[in-house]
Amino acid sequence: MSFSFCQFGKQSGGRLLSLLEAKNICRKYRVRSYNLGQSGMLEAIKNISFALEKGETLAIVGESGSGKSTLARQIIGIEKPTRGDIFFENERLEFANKKHRKNRFRNIRMIFQNPYESLNPQARIGKILDDVLSINTDLNPKQRKQKIESTLSRVGLLPEHRHRYPHMFSGGQRQRVAIARAIILDPKVIIADEPLSALDVSIQAQILNLLQELQEEMGMSYLFISHDLNVVEHIADHVLVMYQGEVVESGSVSQVFDRPVHPYTQSLFASTPMYRKRFPNFQKPRDKKIKNVKKGACCFAERCPYSEQRCQVEHPDLITKEDSSRVACFKNEN
Amino acid sequence: MHLLRVENLSVSYLTESGEVPIVDRMSIKMGMGEILGVVGESGSGKSMMALAIMGLLSPKMRMRADYINLDGEDLMKMSVEDRAAYVASKAAIIFQEPQASLNPCFSIASQLDETIAFHGGGGRADRKTKALELLDDVGINRPDLVLKMYPHQLSGGMNQRVAIAMALACEPRLLIADEPTTALDVTIQSQIIELLVKLSRAQQSGLMLITHDFALLSENTDRIGVVYSGQLMEHAATENILSSPHHPYTKALLDSIPQLGDRHVKGSRLFALDGNIPAIDQLPVGCRLGPRCPKAERQCVNTPELRSIENYGKVRCHLASVSSVNKAEADS
Amino acid sequence: MIHSPQFYQQSVIPSTVSRWTNNFLKNKLALSAFVLLALIFLVALFAPWIAPYDPAIQFENTKLPPAWYDDGMARHLLGTDDLGRDLFSRLVHGARLSLKLAIFVVVIASSIGMLLGSLSALSNVWIDQIIMRVMDLILALPSLLLAIVIVALIGPGLPNAIYAVAIVLIPHFVLITRNAIKAELGKEYVTAMMLDGATKVRLFTHSILPNILPSVIVQITLAFSTAVLEIAALGFLGLGAQAPYPEWGTILSESHAYITIAPWTVALPGLAIFFTLLSINLVGEGLRDAMELEQ
Amino acid sequence: MTSIIFRQFLLLILGLFTLTLFTFGISQLFPDPLILSDAHAKTINDSLIENYFNYIAFLSQGEWGLSRISGRSVLDEFFIYFPATLELTTIAIIFALVLGLPLGIYAAENKNKWQDKLIVSTTLIGYSMPIFWWGMLLVLLFALTLGISPVASRIGFEYDILPVTGFMLIDTLLSDQPYALAAFQNALQHLVLPTIVLGTIPLAIFTRVTRSAMIDALSSDYIRTAKAKGLPYDRIIWSHALRNAMIPIVTVIGLQISVLITGTLITEKIFAWPGIGKWLLEAVYRRDLVTLHGGLLAIASLVIIVNIAVEVLVHLVNPKLRHKK
């Protein structure tokens, strides 16, 4: 699916919307301090906007603490964003609305990072999958059994595996179970939060292939969260680079992987052995942080190799360029 | 002369129903100042090999070896106490979880000081100067501040630097880094690896870099050992392995990493080995890769031995010599 | 249907409970303790039929030693006490009394404790804090002291003392339930189940409850042994069961004075308490291991 | 650190507040009203809140009422009986620690070997011991049969020791009688059996906790690091591992206080030990509610204070908690 497809997409209230859209999502957490009476707000993600088209993959890249998992929690509906709207199929999703929730839970499914922790250790696989169906569909037990068996085969497991408990599977098989649980309702969007990072190298490729296969067969969209640049380049159509809760750069995979502009994106490439050859001139982040950077300044100013006076005081806007890619850096403005 | 020569090192786990082999007759050589990469998946026994060399196996483990020659002395001929002291003076190891590998109840100062004192560090003031120097060497900004802190007050990257400083306090001839960057962020990862390589080159000490990440090894190592299911599958110079891997497993590992510029095209798939890594108590007959190997032939049910291949290195595969001959023919 | 793979497979993969049972059966020590405990329970259950005499009947032969002594008598297997009552009958009836009371105490304490613990874990900070502070207070009150106060206020006797023991056991159940639920709530599979659209009730009964059950079961065995001990201690101090009730602690306290003349009247009831406690603790330990809980 | 102490202090106040609420509630619920003094009686009126504040006011002035048995001030009586109990419990805890820590460490070092199994099963026996029976058995064997230990009380009646501090071991040494040293020895002998009886269950618990804490510590990464550095074995055990194991051990010691008080009541009854337990049992047998109220309040406050102190100690031994903001 190309980006242009959405230009002719459904129209709602005079606006064109993608399958899933997030607008200015913020999430603050109250941080309770050990000192009584003192409590602060931690802004885990700030003003995140993105659009996900049907059948496409949007990858969210960032290190730990960049807020990418927090973002996933807002989109999936576990938490209510402090501010901002989420649109799904041209409809604004309300957090508390029961119908919206049911619809959201059915159509946006999640694959967790650690497949062992996301499966109830006391339940057989068949029971876990059966629960999903009995809650969300009107299928009778026989139909449910058929659906479970066909889904298990689809992710490369055997129908008999439904009698097993999670601990009887290897890591890769467990992630297949998690994928089966995500696709069994034929969802439109799948959020995959670091689905490969708990797996062995030779298994990662299997799961990655499986995800691509399923996407091509079922036409699902992926929100693919990862820190692994190779994998992102391989699977993504669009990329969103996050640092400390903010989007620093976004664009199509070719924009971000061929002509990265933001110093943070560049430093990510410079830190990854495989990409160092492609971008020999990119600088790594500073070893020693710059002190006295003002609060509210550019989020990367402390470690940015090009950090100037202005960066340490002001915050750059996320500017959309002609090719619809976005960058938040003063260097780019000029 | 070699810094480290290990011949037929086996490690097994004692259970009520008998011994389960984890590492099977591993032989490894490292030259002075060489950087050796050991790559393998979880449970492949790569960490066990390192622990066995360091003498850190848990009491439930048994090890056997023809010899483990570290800087000219055979460890297998020493008593337990002598061996511990000798290894501590020649080799050091850092682990995957920097936070967990430092004692949470002691300040950085006391942990560093203890190590320096134990390795004959002189008076109190001398030791403090040495500690500050070491922290400076590993690229810590304000050593005096960090000295007063506790491990939980430092970030993962900082803790790993402290762990490296502590390892350097022993002035080791060999530094073993067991997945030193797996728990760290990408940008921190490359800093730590760079630091390790820089220190190793500067002090002409050997570095054994154990990881599951092939990409990490490609730039930094002189030689690479590939471990699968407790066995050394391939052991050769880095450029040889990267340009013409002889073992199907190594080739599969390299192929299963998405290549640069490999973008999303409908129908394109990565190369992936089928099946799962065999459980250590359910190993296949013959070659341990056998059931998953795309090139397996009838002879692969016989156990392959590690064989030297001229101008390349060592490979444990029946088909390796054939393919190298073919390659030679093609070249001529 | 009989030839379907389901039929075959289900017999192959054991359920979690049967795996635990198998683990427990493999543990010889715990298993023998379980047999001993079951025996004690049977004795307690059939006490009126097992005991040869009424525990209150006084025979002429007082302070008669057990039958295996030279001056013992076969019809009084374990001898008689200072009032000539048959010790064996008293101990058998004592088992009935002790176990009955302990079960009652544990049922009360565990149900109240689990209820409060769930409430504490699932409701807002304020309710949680209030419950926790009250539990802190109860934990600060030594159990016997609380019993003493209650007895002093309402008067001595079994039911009153029992409440004290039950109250003191509650906080442990509250804490263990609350912490286990809180730990469960933080786990990813609970989130995953929520995303499957499960209601809160379903989440609780299907996911949280089965996962906290092992720790609660172990706590129940611990509480059971504490209850047996405390009830006996109360009897010993004269605050629980009153003479001539054949309660183990009360028997001990009565025979305290005759320790030199009739040592068996001290040794035997004590042994009964000791073996009951030991078997409960061993079974608890075995359960903990069998259910693969961390200590 | 100051913030932690402040927080713990608040918890202490809160704890004492709930405690007085509880005792006040009891005194209101039962028909026999709790009157601390004549002055207190005059202040009682219909307002519960006012009554509570008056109650607190009198308590804080030290007016805890007069014992119905002896007619003396309850608070004064508490301080007369308390040293004997404190002496016994302190020595019992020391006994349990001095024996339990090394045993636990030894068991952890030999995990799953026969030494470990022996220690673990012995602790289970100790843990299952009904201490009133255990006390009687020890008296029967060592005092009545072998005659190598006194039967009961704190000191032989041939010694006349003036109570100065209330602690017999100190008072005998302070005494200017010619038999001071002999009296000290005699007091020690009197302590042996009660200490063993009272210390048995804590000993079993400390041994188990030490064992499991040490096993955890010994299997951790930082111990592996310490071994790799070549540190001597003893230093690894006694410095690196034990220091970390102390965190759960100290926590458990705190939890034992209230269990120990229960044990004291029983032990004092067996050995006719003139302490708090004897005092309170006397009060309950003779339905002296004023004394019981005072005893409950004093002991519970004590347990709360000790628990808070232990909590502060836990923060001190655990750097992770110490630096928490």
- The CATH number linked to A230 is 3.40.50.300
Q: Is B89 part of any domain?
A: yes
How far apart, in whole angstroms, are the C-alpha atoms of residue A139 and residue A132? 11
Residue A294 pLDDT level (bands cut at 50, 70, 90): confident
Query: Does residue A14 surpass a pLDDT of 50?
Result: no
Q: Is A88 part of any domain?
A: no
Q: Is A36 part of any domain?
A: no
How far apart, in whole angstroms, are the C-alpha atoms of residue D236 and residue D226? 7
What is the reported pLDDT for C4? 35
Looking from the CA of C80 toward its CB, the CA atoms found within 13 Å total 24
pLDDT tens-place string over residues B18-52: 888 888 888 888 888 889 999 988 878 888 899 99
Residues D103 and D224 in one domain: yes
Domain coverage including residue B240: 2-98+209-324
Tell me what the mean pLDDT of segment B173-198 comes to: 85
Residues D316 and D183 in one domain: yes
The H-or-E segment that residue A193 falls in is strand A189-193
Looking at the DSSP assignment, which residues form a beta bridge with residue C105?
none
Most confident of A230-234, B80-84, C215-219: C215-219
How far apart, in whole angstroms, are the C-alpha atoms of residue C198 and residue C184? 15
How far apart, in whole angstroms, are the C-alpha atoms of residue C198 and residue A237? 33
Residues A254 and A275 in one domain: no
Tell me what the mean pLDDT of segment D60-67 comes to: 82
Contact C5 A168 (CB under 8 A): no
Tell me what the mean pLDDT of segment B120-139 comes to: 84
Domain coverage including residue A235: 54-82+94-258
Residue C109 pLDDT level (bands cut at 50, 70, 90): very high
Looking from the CA of D181 toward its CB, the CA atoms found within 13 Å total 1
What is the reported pLDDT for D281? 86
Comparing alpha-carbon positions, the chain B residue that sits nearest to D229 is B88
What is the reported pLDDT for A16? 66
Q: Which residues of C touch A223 (CB under 8 A)?
A: none
A119 touches C: beta carbon within 8 Å:
yes
Comparing alpha-carbon positions, the chain D residue that sits nearest to B163 is D225
Domain C-terminal end among A258, A281, A307: A258
Residue from D218, D223, D229, D242 whose CB has the most chain B CBs within 10 Å, to mutate: D229
What is the reported pLDDT for B202? 87
Domains identified in chain C and CATH numbers: 41-293 (1.10.3720.10)
User: What mean pLDDT is reported for chain D?
Assistant: 86
Q: Is A287 part of any domain?
A: yes
Contact D136 C145 (CB under 8 A): no
Per-residue buried b or exposed e for B218-228, using 16+ beta carbons within 10 Å of the residue's own CB:
bebbbbbbbbb
From the list A229, A221, A230, A114, the residue with the least C-alpha distance to A174 is A114
Residue A32 pLDDT level (bands cut at 50, 70, 90): low
Residues D122 and D205 in one domain: yes
Residue A10 pLDDT level (bands cut at 50, 70, 90): very low
Per-residue buried b or exposed e for B162-183, using 16+ beta carbons within 10 Å of the residue's own CB:
bbbbbbbbbebbbbbbbbbbeb
Residue A1 pLDDT level (bands cut at 50, 70, 90): very low
Residues A104 and A231 in one domain: yes
Asked if residue D66 lies in contact with residue D172, where contact means CB atoms within 8 angstroms, the answer is no
What is the reported pLDDT for D175? 77
Q: Is D284 part of any domain?
A: yes
Q: How many domains does chain D have?
A: 2
Q: Is A48 part of any domain?
A: no
Q: How far is A49 from chain B (nearest CA, A)?
A: 23
From the list D14, D58, D302, the residue with the least C-alpha distance to C145 is D302
What is the reported pLDDT for B322? 55
Residues A173 and A198 in one domain: yes
Query: Does residue D179 surpass a pLDDT of 90?
Result: no
Percent with pLDDT over 70 in chain B: 95
Residues A111 and A205 in one domain: yes
CATH of the domain at B13: 3.40.50.300
- Where does chain B have alpha helices with state H? 46-54, 80-90, 98-101, 108-118, 124-137, 143-147, 156-169, 186-203, 214-220, 238-243, 248-256, 320-331
Residue D187 pLDDT level (bands cut at 50, 70, 90): confident
Domain C-terminal end among A231, A258, A285: A258
Asked if residue D325 lies in contact with residue D32, where contact means CB atoms within 8 angstroms, the answer is no
Residue B100 is nearest to which of D220, D247, D319, comparing CB atoms? D220
Query: Does residue A124 surpass a pLDDT of 70?
Result: yes
pLDDT tens-place string over residues A150-174: 999 988 888 888 888 888 888 888 8
Residue A120 is nearest to which of C6, C189, C195, comparing CB atoms? C189
How far apart, in whole angstroms, are the C-alpha atoms of residue B250 and residue A79? 44
CATH of the domain at D247: 1.10.3720.10
Q: Write out the two tokens for B228.
A: 């699968």
Question: By mean pLDDT, which of A238-242, A319-323, B208-212, D291-295 is the weakest?
Answer: A319-323
Residues A172 and A303 in one domain: no
What is the reported pLDDT for C240? 76
Query: Does residue D325 surpass a pLDDT of 70?
Result: no
What is the reported pLDDT for C254? 84
pLDDT tens-place string over residues C267-284: 888 999 999 999 999 999
Q: Is D69 part of any domain?
A: no
pLDDT tens-place string over residues A176-185: 999 999 999 9
Residue A231 is nearest to which of B187, B258, B272, comparing CB atoms? B258
For residues C33, C37, C40, C41, the Cα torsion angle rounded to the nearest 10 degrees is: -160
Q: Is B125 part of any domain?
A: no
Query: Does residue B144 surpass a pLDDT of 90?
Result: no
Domain C-terminal end among A232, A258, A284: A258
Asked if residue B180 lies in contact with residue B196, where contact means CB atoms within 8 angstroms, the answer is yes
Q: Write out the two tokens for D80.
A: 């007369």
Comparing alpha-carbon positions, the chain D residue that sits nearest to C146 is D296
User: What mean pLDDT is reported for chain B?
Assistant: 83
Contact B253 A202 (CB under 8 A): yes
Q: Is B174 part of any domain?
A: no
Residue C71's SS3 state is coil
